[in-house]
């Protein structure tokens, strides 16, 4: 670890990944990148919560299938979601029989799972580690805000929780993309109290971790094909670019945000964009990882972002802390000296 | 990893730990093992939830202080708790500035944090990792069951959630106790639906992980001074011993349970015992780790247990899955061949 960043000398590989979504995701511009779209928000279950568990399990099953793997070949699984006590995950995977370590990073969960999976593979502790997360619009709305039946109005800064799940498997095989480095985020709380403006709460966390990554790796933003955030949406994305702008660093042409990619602002009523743990996870697993594998993209810096609020403490007047972990995914394995040679520092 | 068990060749050390409790814990038989007892359930805050955050932070501060460490010397922190979205932890540690990875394992959280901390130290990824967790009776009751003001009756199988937190730091220093091996648990669901009988829901998970540990390490139960479970309470403890008894293995004289140790059954009205993430964490950090350091105990197998239920899905008729991770803590470092030599297999 240098600074807050882990460097993976063995370059652990994301060997398979899958994304599963709901109707809204199927109607959006990234529809064709999903392995499966479910039109039924209940996923043929009795409740939305059971539906989310099924959604998450489907992502795991698809990822295993695409990698021609069985659950017995997974040494450890990292997973978590937005539902209280992470029941989307634990009920979804309970019959798979895979050793399990629960994680909670709100919408940053996919990067935490990828980071820990990469560490265990890089350290030679496991042959294969799986990371998974999900979110479900209907289950999240009634837990975090209001039951859908209430018909509550949403403010312009609010984001639409994705009904989506992403799963990926990391192993030591020489199959791109590779995980080259990862920066562990700190909990950042700038005092935002509006639970309908998660983008504003999370942008400083993304800024903190990305800046730390650049400092620790001595890489500059333009080394990357894209700097991708999880679900800052329109508001948070603008704030992130402004924060970098204050440092004299213009990332506007490089920056992409899963929350602004998942839905069509023109055709879908999503206000400031998408959110939810499944947003960053499905866009990473369905869109970016395949593009890195095919060579269409060479290097991305992926920083999912999580708002660590709870309705209870928010109602007590608390502000919203956030966290973001930044992960460098690359089409090439390479060792650290090559990286240093390739870097183009602009500072 | 052999089977589901990690072996730590470098024997990472728990170099400091601390336990902080509330009034009930201060009135109990383990009172003197706590670094601090708080009589006020609000911890001088406005709400129980804020109180839990302060409790958790106090455990971190005490652990750092006893180890003569500053927060800058901690490379990464693992933490989580029972409150929705783990706000006890994230709000408690948000101003410490330590890179943070959130974990969720309900009452098994302390072993998950210790396991991951040990992996990162053993792999040479960090110099020092911190693990912390907490629970708070008043905050947990109103979230999981009923507000205290309701005055609900508790059934005989129910357990009393501890108001307690435990924190520990793992590093590569040669200071006992050492973490020698750890078995990652699977999610086990035997169909128990009674949320007031967590012991019954969790006992099969403890059994599964302990049995896996013995198989993977080829160690027998009587190698250990004690086989310690997290918070099975009276009911779960009896079930665990019965499950081993069916295999012809009598662990009754070796078995200890933090849930039956924390309170006095004669003098405190706790029904089947203590529970909560802070129960196993405070007893591990306050009682067992110091005894291993002093040499009073040589080897313990510690398996905290977590019931992964949520009130929402439980109300929907779902059963309660559980998980347990088993960790071998030892006063001696030793390498694996020494362990194998020392083992006394009884099977």
Inter-chain contact A120–B119, Cβ cutoff 8 Å? yes
% of chain A surpassing 70 pLDDT: 96
| pLDDT tens per residue across span A176-208 | 999 999 999 999 999 999 999 999 999 999 999
Which A residues in the span 66-85 are in contact with B, Cβ-Cβ below 8 Å? 75-76, 80, 82-85
% of chain B surpassing 90 pLDDT: 92
Alpha helix (H) ranges present in chain B? 23-27, 48-66, 87-93, 109-122, 137-144, 198-217, 233-246, 258-261, 277-283, 289-294, 311-315, 336-342
Q: How many CA atoms lie within 13 A of B232 on its CB side?
A: 26
Q: How many CB pairs under 8 A join A and B?
A: 170
% of chain B surpassing 70 pLDDT: 96
Indicate the DSSP class of residue B157: T
Looking at residues B126-147, what average pLDDT do you find?
A: 96
Asked if the model's pLDDT at residue A159 lies above 70, the reply is yes
Inter-chain contact A316–B97, Cβ cutoff 8 Å? no
Conformational region of residue A31, where left means phi above 0, alpha means psi within -120 to 50, and beta covers everything else: alpha
Q: What distance in Å separates residue A87's CA from the closest CA in chain B?
A: 7
Asked if the model's pLDDT at residue B341 lies above 50, the reply is no
Looking at residues A66-77, what average pLDDT do you find?
A: 98
- Could you give the CA distance from residue A167 to residue A131 in angstroms, rounded to a whole number? 6
How confident is the model at residue A346, as a pLDDT?
A: 37
Please choose, from the candidates A192, A174, A168, A172, the residue with its C-alpha nearest in 3D space to the C-alpha of residue A290.
Answer: A168
Indicate the DSSP class of residue B77: E
| pLDDT tens per residue across span B9-18 | 899 999 999 9
According to CATH, the topology of domain A10-171 is: Peroxisomal Thiolase; Chain A, domain 1 (3.40.47)
* Chain A residue nearest residue B52, CA to CA: A313
* B323 interaction partners in chain A (CB closer than 8 Å): 90, 100, 102
Looking at residues B147-152, what average pLDDT do you find?
A: 89
Contacts of B166 (CB under 8 A, 6+ apart): B17, B18, B19, B20, B59, B110, B132, B133, B134, B278, B280, B281, B282, B283, B284, B285, B286
Domain with CATH 3.40.47.40 in chain B: 5-171, 178-342
Report chain A's mean pLDDT, rounded to a whole number.
Answer: 95
Reduced to 3 states (helix: H, G, I; strand: E, B; else coil), residue B99 is coil
Q: Does A50 touch chain B (CB under 8 A)?
A: yes
C-alpha distance across the termini of chain B, in Å: 22
Reduced to 3 states (helix: H, G, I; strand: E, B; else coil), residue B313 is helix
Q: What distance in Å separates residue B214's CA from the closest CA in chain A?
A: 16
| pLDDT tens per residue across span B239-262 | 999 999 999 999 999 999 999 999
Work out the number of other CB atoms within 10 angstroms of the CB of residue A190: 17
Tell the residue number behind the tokens 């709380």, with chain if given: A189
| pLDDT tens per residue across span B156-215 | 999 999 999 999 999 999 999 999 999 999 999 999 999 999 999 999 999 999 999 999
- Could you give the CA distance from residue B138 to residue B49 in angstroms, rounded to a whole number? 9
Asked if the model's pLDDT at residue B106 lies above 60, the reply is yes
Strand partners, B274: B160
Split at pLDDT 50, 70, 90, the class of A339 is low
Q: What distance in Å separates residue B258's CA from the closest CA in chain A?
A: 22
Strand partners, A256: A228
Q: What distance in Å separates residue B26's CA from the closest CA in chain A?
A: 27
Split at pLDDT 50, 70, 90, the class of B343 is very low
Reduced to 3 states (helix: H, G, I; strand: E, B; else coil), residue A343 is coil
Report domain B178-342's class. Answer: alpha beta
Please choose, from the candidates A197, A251, A245, A247, the residue with its C-alpha nearest in 3D space to the C-alpha of residue A229.
Answer: A251
Q: Does B186 touch chain A (CB under 8 A)?
A: yes
**Cβ-count burial B151-185 (b if 16+ within 10 Å, e if not):** eeebeebbbbbbbbbbbbbbbbbeebbbbbbbbbb
Superfamily of domain B5-171: Stage V sporulation protein AD (3.40.47.40)
Inter-chain contact A104–B85, Cβ cutoff 8 Å? yes
- Could you give the CA distance from residue A79 to residue A94 in angstroms, rounded to a whole number? 12
Predicted TM-score (pTM) of the model is 0.96
Contacts of B239 (CB under 8 A, 6+ apart): B199, B200, B203, B204, B232
Asked if the model's pLDDT at residue B339 lies above 70, the reply is no
* B80 interaction partners in chain A (CB closer than 8 Å): 102, 104
Q: What distance in Å separates residue B198's CA from the closest CA in chain A?
A: 15
Q: Does A324 touch chain B (CB under 8 A)?
A: no
How confident is the model at residue B336, as a pLDDT?
A: 61
Inter-chain contact A100–B185, Cβ cutoff 8 Å? yes
| pLDDT tens per residue across span A287-313 | 999 999 999 999 999 999 999 999 999
Q: Which residue has the higher pLDDT, A212 or B151?
A: A212
* A187 interaction partners in chain B (CB closer than 8 Å): 90, 93-94, 100
């Amino acid at each position: 670890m240098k600074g807050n960043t882990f460097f993976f000398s063995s370059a652990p590989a994301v060997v398979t990944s899958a994304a599963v979504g709901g109707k809204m995701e199927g109607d959006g511009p990234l529809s064709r990148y999903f392995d499966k779209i479910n039109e039924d928000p209940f996923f043929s279950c009795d409740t939305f919560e059971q539906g989310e568990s099924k959604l998450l399990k489907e992502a795991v099953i698809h990822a295993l299938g695409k990698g021609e793997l069985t659950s017995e070949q997974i040494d450890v699984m990292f997973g978590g979601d937005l539902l209280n006590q992470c029941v989307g995950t634990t009920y979804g995977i309970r019959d798979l029989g895979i050793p399990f370590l629960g994680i909670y990073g709100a919408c940053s969960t996919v990067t935490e799972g990828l980071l820990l999976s990469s560490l265990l593979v890089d350290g030679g502790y496991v042959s294969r580690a799986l990371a998974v997360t999900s979110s479900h619009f209907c289950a999240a709305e009634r837990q975090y805000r209001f039951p859908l039946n209430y018909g509550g109005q949403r403010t312009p800064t609010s984001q639409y929780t994705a009904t989506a799940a992403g799963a990926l498997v990391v192993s030591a095989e020489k199959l791109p993309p590779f995980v080259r480095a990862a920066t562990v985020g700190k909990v950042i709380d700038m005092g935002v109290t509006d639970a309908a403006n998660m983008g504003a709460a999370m942008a400083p966390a993304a800024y903190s971790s990305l800046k730390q990554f650049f400092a620790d790796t001595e890489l500059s933003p333009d080394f990357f094909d894209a700097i991708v955030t999880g679900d800052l949406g329109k508001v948070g994305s603008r704030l992130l670019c402004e924060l970098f702008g204050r440092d004299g660093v213009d990332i506007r042409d490089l920056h992409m945000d899963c929350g602004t990619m998942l839905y069509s602002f023109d055709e879908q009523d999503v206000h400031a964009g998408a959110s939810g743990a499944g947003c960053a996870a499905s866009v990473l697993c369905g869109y970016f990882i395949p593009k890195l594998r095919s060579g269409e993209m060479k290097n991305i810096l992926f920083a999912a972002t999580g708002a660590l609020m709870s309705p209870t403490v928010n109602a007590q007047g608390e502000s919203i802390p956030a966290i973001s972990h930044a992960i460098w995914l690359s089409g090439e394995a390479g060792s650290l000296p090559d990286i240093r040679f390739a870097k183009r520092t602009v500072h």
